[in-house]
Amino acid sequence: MIIIFDYGHGGKDPGATYKGRHEADDVLRIGQAIAKRLRDAGVQIDETRTSNQALSLEQRVKMEWKKTYDFFISFHRNAFKPEVATGAEVFVYKSINAKSKPLADKIQSALVNVGFRNRGVKEAEFYVLKHTRAPALLLEIGFIDNSADNQLFDSKFEELVEGMAHAILAVAGGKKVDTCPACGQGVGL
């Protein structure tokens, strides 16, 4: 199993911001924590960026084209109006791939199980979903402009990492079986 992680925004593009908090920083932090957990379990993870650098959507997609990946997962935090919207959601391309939807459902469940409001798995035509060859998902891990979602992101960070890693491992496989504290599922670790 080989997966490419895409951490949204970066460099001159901080993504959504709220009270000094930047989406680009949050998604890099959580994505790299999940990548480490998956690598420890024997899954190969490539990354579109490993620092606070800017990449265009086209550059991100072209990186995915260089290899045959089992999944492309793009990490984001949502924004709307300060303190109005809450919750997590996962997007897949409008013509749902048979592999992307089951993984999207597992990741969405992991996000909800740690306390995010369930905004569901949805279809979208986002550039990185439409133009990648691998089954692709775009994660919105809570609203960065909502204090409750940020509190959840920070206070349940390790549970989020474990829950999302376990969701991916349920599809990717791994080294041994264990039970995820966030999702209660037994999966490869």
* pLDDT reported for residue 96: 65
Closest Cα to residue 137, out of 64, 179, 50, 75? 75
Number of domains the chain contains? 1
- E strands of 8-135, at which residues? 17-18, 21-22, 44-47, 71-78, 88-93, 118-124
Q: What is the pLDDT along the chain (189 residues), one digit of tens a residue?
A: 999 999 999 999 999 999 999 999 999 999 999 999 999 999 999 999 999 999 999 999 999 999 999 999 999 999 999 999 999 999 999 876 788 999 999 999 999 999 999 999 999 999 999 999 999 999 999 999 999 999 999 999 999 999 999 999 998 776 543 544 444 444 444
CATH number at residue 51: 3.40.630.40
pLDDT in tens, 78-131: 999 999 999 999 999 987 678 899 999 999 999 999 999 999 999 999 999 999
Question: Residues 13, 24: contact at Cβ < 8 Å?
Answer: yes
Answer positive or negative: Cα dihedral of 16, 136, 139, 96: positive
- Give the catalytic positions in this structure: 140
pTM to 2 decimal places: 0.92
Alpha-carbon distance of 9 to 104, in angstroms, equals: 21
* pLDDT reported for residue 99: 87
Domain that holds residue 71: 2-188
* pLDDT reported for residue 177: 37
* pLDDT reported for residue 189: 41
* pLDDT reported for residue 175: 55
* pLDDT reported for residue 183: 46
Give the list of residues 6+ apart from residue 151 with CB closer than 8 angstroms, or none.
Answer: none
